[in-house]
Amino acid sequence: MYRDQVLEVEPTGIEAVGDEQRHGSPRDLFGVWFSANAEIATWMVGVFVTALYGTDLRAAAIGIVLGNIAGFALLGILGTFGPRYGVPQMVASRLAFGRLGNTAPAALSFLAGIGWFAINTVFGAYALQTIAGIGYLLALAIMLLLQIALAVYGYNLIHAFERASVLLLAAGFVLLGAVTIARAHWNAPFDSHAPFAFGGAAAGFIYATALAFSYATGWVPCASDYSRYLPRASNPRAVWFYAFIGCALPCIALEILGAATVSATRMNLANALPTEAIAQLLGSGILAKLVLATVVLGTLTANCMNLYSGALAALVAFNVRVKRALAAGAVGIIGALLASGGGHPRETAELYTNFLLLLSYWASPWAAVVLIDWILARGGDRDPERMPAWRPGFIAWLVGLAASIPFWNQAWFTGPLARAFPQFGDLSYYVGFAAGALAMWALSLRRDLEPDPARGELSPAPND
């Protein structure tokens, strides 16, 4: 019996968790989500807001708050799927997309998970190298082994590790925050010389909101992965609240501190590594090493979840019948190869960051489709594992994604409308979400006029 055993490899894969294995409380979600987001990549979101887009600090803070509230409200809602259905989020996504229609979102979720795993490992390895005075490749190997071990053991060990890390992470970032707050210029105006400041102050505010929202929605495709062992009778409101507050609290605080860091240092942070910014703020003494230790710990807490959810998404996307632990190990090896970066970690970090920001556009319309399906079904007692091959969500998602493309505004691609109206910033996340939601609503209403096997007259899905 796996149940609540911490030092036992999780036997459950992407199938539903049985009632005999259910355990825990919605309160457990606070620790797991707080620690996953109290990490350096979250802080870097705030750095990007001001260093890249020139946003003034007040507008950045407001945009960060709004973006996080909207994004993590969605995560809380989808987190309630865990106790209800007992399956990973990418399996629950079949409710809206169907078994085959769900393949593409699951594959993108896998790519996002392994991509963030690689980039965060680069940051963590840099921090460990600075603390221990060891070579980069050795630091990288240590980080990879620890993260893969956590992901292989699975759900219970990840939850225990995240809960144990809460206070340590909070203390480390409080140290960084105290120095940042003392040195930051909180009335810093819009910086028209920033690399992507050509949209003006209004665009900077929109970028701040969009980056915070996109970072939050990046976690949404794995929301129920960490609540699926909760008892079926868990209070949905409590599940929503603890997931929401566990994510929103560290993200809002760290992203605002990241935005303030740009005015607190004298260096150009647009292309700087986190370790360089920390050294600029704290020097190389004991305080700097404590904060860098926090970076290492935060890398572990975020990346074990990136790898765990990436492995689950891979099993869903590629329909492979292997044990979850083996999938986690295999995906970890792929992530290790990516993180090695051919010996050029700085260039690797920049390359992967641009790729991941471009990749993030898929998640907003996906979240809209899943949300509208949930609203129209009023939760329901549907079985995600017995869905037909195709559901309206796939078409609605494509509509939302296509509608957002003209508004994309990213280092590798700028859409025609974003290029023509730079003062509006990057509206793609909002347009994609709205278009996907409206398309899903319209397609679902149309299906209400004809028989729908997903509304109760289900036959077992064929073996494929």
> Which residues lie below 8 Å from residue 224, measured CB to CB, with a gap of 6+?
78, 79, 80, 81, 82, 85, 87, 88, 89, 92
- Whether 118 maps to a domain, the answer reads yes
Residue located via tokens 């750095």: 47
- Whether 419 maps to a domain, the answer reads no
- Whether 454 maps to a domain, the answer reads no
Residue 462's pLDDT is what?
A: 38
- Whether 183 maps to a domain, the answer reads yes
- Whether 392 maps to a domain, the answer reads no
Q: How far apart are CA 305 and CA 303, in angstroms?
A: 5
Give the Å distances, CA to CA, from 439 to 9, 395, 445. Answer: 42, 8, 10
Question: What are the beta bridge partners of residue 9?
Answer: none
Into how many domains does the chain fold? Answer: 1
DSSP at 414: E
The interaxial angle of helices 286-318 and 155-183, nearest 10 deg, is: 140
Q: How far apart are CA 58 and CA 28, in angstroms?
A: 33
Report the CATH number that the domain containing residue 157 is assigned in CATH: 1.10.4160.10
pLDDT (tens, 9 = 90+) of the chain, 464 residues, equals: 888 898 899 999 899 999 999 999 999 999 999 999 998 889 888 888 888 888 899 999 999 999 999 999 999 999 999 999 999 999 999 999 999 999 999 999 998 888 888 888 888 888 888 888 888 889 989 999 999 999 999 999 999 999 999 999 999 889 888 888 888 888 888 888 877 777 788 888 988 998 899 889 889 999 999 999 999 999 999 999 999 999 999 999 999 999 998 888 866 766 666 777 777 777 777 888 888 889 899 999 999 999 999 999 999 998 877 888 888 888 888 888 887 764 555 566 566 566 666 777 899 999 999 999 999 887 567 888 888 889 999 999 999 999 999 988 877 788 898 888 887 778 888 899 999 999 999 998 776 545 445 444 344 343 33
Which of 421, 413, 58, 401 minimizes the C-alpha distance to 208? 58
Residue 18's pLDDT is what?
A: 92
> Which residues lie below 8 Å from residue 49, measured CB to CB, with a gap of 6+?
55, 60, 63, 64, 204, 207, 208, 211, 212, 255, 258, 259
Q: How far apart are CA 234 and CA 93, in angstroms?
A: 21
Question: Long-range contacts of range 131-138, CB-CB < 8 Å, 24 or more positions apart?
Answer: 131/289, 131/292, 131/293, 131/296, 136/345, 137/340, 137/343
Residue 108's pLDDT is what?
A: 92
pLDDT digits (tens, 9 = 90+) for 380-400: 678 888 888 899 999 999 999
Give the Å distances, CA to CA, from 173 to 12, 42, 170, 249, 276. Answer: 35, 11, 5, 13, 16
- Whether 456 maps to a domain, the answer reads no
- Whether 383 maps to a domain, the answer reads no
Residue 273 domain boundaries: 26-361
- Whether 315 maps to a domain, the answer reads yes
Q: How far apart are CA 415 and CA 407, in angstroms?
A: 5
> Which residues lie below 8 Å from residue 13, measured CB to CB, with a gap of 6+?
312, 315, 323, 324, 327
Residue 380's pLDDT is what?
A: 65
User: In the chain, what is the greatest distance between 2 CA atoms, to the nearest angstrom?
Assistant: 69
Q: Measure the N-to-C terminal CA separation of the chain; round to a whole number of Å.
A: 30
Indicate the pTM of the whole model. 0.88
Pairing of strands 409-410, 413-414: antiparallel
Residue 72's pLDDT is what?
A: 96
Residue 165's pLDDT is what?
A: 95
Residue 48's pLDDT is what?
A: 84
The interaxial angle of helices 274-282 and 103-132, nearest 10 deg, is: 40
CA 70, chain centre distance (Å) = 14
Which of 36, 43, 108, 124 minimizes the C-alpha distance to 339? 124
DSSP at 430: H
- Paired tokens of 200: 């003006």
Coil, strand, or helix at residue 450? Answer: coil
> Which residues lie below 8 Å from residue 442, measured CB to CB, with a gap of 6+?
none
